[in-house]
Amino acid sequence: MFDYETLRCIWWLFLGVLLIGVAVMMGFDLGIAVLLPFLGKTDTERRVIINSVGATWEGNQTWFVTAGGALFAAFPMVYSVAFSGFYLALLLTLFALMMRPLGFDYRSKLPSERWRSNWDKALFVGGFVPALIFGVAFGNLLQGVPFHLDNDMRIFYDGSFWSLLNPFALLSGLLSVAMLTTHGAVYLQLRTEGEIQQRCEKAVMLFTIMMLVIFALAGVWVANIDGYAITSNILHDAPSNPLNKVVEKTAGLWMHNYQQYPLLILVPSLGFMAGVLTILLSKQQYLKSAFVSSSLTITSIILTAGVSMFPFLIPASQSINHSLTVWDASSSHTTLAIMFWVTVVFLPLIIVYTSWVFRVLSGKITLEHIHNNDHTAY
């Protein structure tokens, strides 16, 4: 039905949709976990915070699991290079993420104060570490990753764990933390009342400003670091072989797409506008709109990274010709087509039933709610 070139573009978009899904849905859970020790002063308040996402975090996290699966299916080489190259960073993320199911489910099953405060710490780690590392990973993708391929397509990673933690990547990490914490604060403001809600409002203000400042700073920085471009002819419908092209690496090349299509500048601009709007809406107590606006900010920030790099997925910083792009790191035409149909059938279905579940569980989580459900609430 679709030709190979179109399907590759569609799958680049789907991947974007899934990543945005991760940031919007799982993002507020992570952000709320980061806020947990700061906004919850008593055990009951912390339980209010935890229960604001207690019944839905699991479905939210599935966006992440599915994005991983879709990356594997649609761009297997990208999945292989990223996961094996960032080995220790991902191990750390994995260990942090494991704290979440246990933290949510086990924390309030026992009354012991020490038991609960340890799980609170675990939940914080489970929110903060993944949020940071997702950003660090993006920061490294923008700079290029030191890997090369041999003729059998075996992957060799030539960097170290510590080289991932360079200044630009750390700045991206902070951007990600600020962005998801803002999002968490907006959601929490929507689901709570009284003092916690007021604290949320301040957090929204603080983290949105932080996010926008870092976003601007990162933008200026990206304009000056080495970007990548394909200089040889590349067939958009050839079998995926990342060894068949010539790549150039020069400072400022990431601005190339904006020079060619000036309208793209709307994408980051929208991010700034939506960010400011989030603060205003949160102040005026239009909380559902604030959540939409915050989601829009996230969408713009992620898309900004995406359109700056297109068609690159993972630039190779040393053997630059081995860079992985949309045109030469995808699955076969057949697999992309099959997965396209599976996605267009199931993704809308998922959105429908997820919305229904959120509607059923909507409403404020209050201190009384926790008192009345002492034995069943998280």
Partner 1 sequence: MISESVVDLSRWQFAATSLYHFLFVPLTLGLSFLLAIMESTYLMTGREIYKDMTQFWGKLFGINFALGVATGLTMEFEFGMNWSYFSHYVGDVFGAPLAIEGLMAFFLEATFVGLFFFGWDKLTKWQHLIVTWLVAFGTNLSALWILVANGWMQNPVGADFNYETMRMEVTHFADLIFNPAAQVKFVHTVAAGYTTAAAFVLGISAYYMLNGRDAAFARRSYTIAAGFGLAACLSVIVLGDESGYTDGEVQKAKLAAIEAEWHTEPPPASFTAIGFPDQEKMETAYAIKIPWVLGLIGTRSIDEPITGLTEILEKNRVRVRNGMKAYGLLQTLRTGEKTPETIAEFNRYKKDLGYGMLLKRYTEKVVDATDAQIELAAQYSIPRVVPLFWTFRVMVGCGFIMLGVFIWAMFASSLRRCRQTTLLKWSLYMMPLPWIACETGWFVAEFGRQPWTIAEVLPTFLSASSLTEWDLYISLSGFIGLYTLFLVIELFLMLKFIKLGPSSLHKGRYHFEIAEGVDHV
The string over 330-368, giving b where at least 16 C-beta atoms fall within 10 Å of a residue's C-beta and e elsewhere, is bbebeebbebbeebeeeeeeeeeebeeeeeeeeeebbbe
Using the rule CB under 8 A, is 293 a contact of partner 1?
A: no
Name which position in 2, 38, 261, 353 contacts partner 1 (CB under 8 A).
353
Tell me how far apart the alpha carbons of residues 261 and 6 are, in angstroms, rounded to a whole number. 19
Segment lying near partner 1 (by CB under 8 A), choices 32-40, 103-111, 191-199, 225-233? 103-111
Name which position in 17, 90, 205, 273 contacts partner 1 (CB under 8 A).
90
Name which position in 153, 216, 246, 266 contacts partner 1 (CB under 8 A).
153
Residue among 162, 170, 98, 163 at smallest CA distance from 132:
170
Using the rule CB under 8 A, is 343 a contact of partner 1?
A: yes
Instruction: List all residues 6 or more positions away from 249 whose beta carbon is below 8 Å from its beta carbon.
Output: 144, 226, 227, 228, 315, 317, 320
Cis peptide before 311 (omega within 30 of 0): yes
Using the rule CB under 8 A, is 117 a contact of partner 1?
A: no
Name which position in 13, 91, 216, 246 contacts partner 1 (CB under 8 A).
91
Report 200-259 residues binding partner 1 (CB under 8 A): 239-241
Compute the least distance from the CB of residue 154 to partner 1, in Å. 6
Using the rule CB under 8 A, is 319 a contact of partner 1?
A: no
54 or 227: CB nearest partner 1: 54
Q: Are 16 and 302 in contact (CB under 8 A)?
A: yes
Name which position in 39, 47, 80, 294 contacts partner 1 (CB under 8 A).
80
Instruction: List all residues 6 or more positions away from 119 whose beta carbon is below 8 Å from its beta carbon.
Output: 102, 103, 106, 107
Query: How would DSSP label each residue in 46-114?
Result: HHHHHHHHHTTHHHHHHHHHHHHHHHHHH-HHHHHHHHHHTHHHHHHHHHHHHHHHHHHHHGGGS--HH
Using the rule CB under 8 A, is 84 a contact of partner 1?
A: yes
Name which position in 20, 48, 77, 313 contacts partner 1 (CB under 8 A).
77
Residue among 47, 57, 33 at smallest CA distance from 125:
33
Segment lying near partner 1 (by CB under 8 A), choices 36-44, 73-81, 229-237, 245-253? 73-81
198 or 241: CB nearest partner 1: 241
Q: Are 331 and 69 in contact (CB under 8 A)?
A: no
Total site size for partner 1, rule CB under 8 A:
69
Name which position in 121, 332, 364, 371 contacts partner 1 (CB under 8 A).
332
Number of alpha carbons in the 13 Å side-chain half-sphere of residue 201: 15
Compute the least distance from the CB of residue 370 to partner 1, in Å. 13
Segment lying near partner 1 (by CB under 8 A), choices 172-180, 213-221, 261-269, 370-378? 370-378
Backbone angles phi, psi at 229, to 5 degrees: -150, 150
Question: Partners of 314 in the beta sheet?
Answer: 324
Cβ neighbours, 10 Å, residue 11: 23
DSSP 159: S
Helices (H) and strands (E) in the chain, counts: 15, 6
Token pair for residue 148?
């090369």
Using the rule CB under 8 A, is 59 a contact of partner 1?
A: yes
174 or 326: CB nearest partner 1: 326
Residue among 99, 89, 101 at smallest CA distance from 60:
101
Compute the least distance from the CB of residue 299 to partner 1, in Å. 20
3-state secondary structure of 244: coil
Name which position in 4, 12, 28, 57 contacts partner 1 (CB under 8 A).
57
Segment lying near partner 1 (by CB under 8 A), choices 50-58, 265-273, 284-292, 296-304? 50-58
84 or 285: CB nearest partner 1: 84
Using the rule CB under 8 A, is 114 a contact of partner 1?
A: no
What does the binding site for partner 1 look like in residue numbers (CB under 8 A)?
Answer: 54-59, 61-62, 65-66, 68-70, 72-74, 76-77, 79-84, 87-88, 90-91, 94-95, 97-98, 100-102, 104-106, 109-110, 151-157, 239-241, 331-332, 334-335, 338-339, 342-343, 346-347, 350, 353-354, 357, 360-361, 375-377
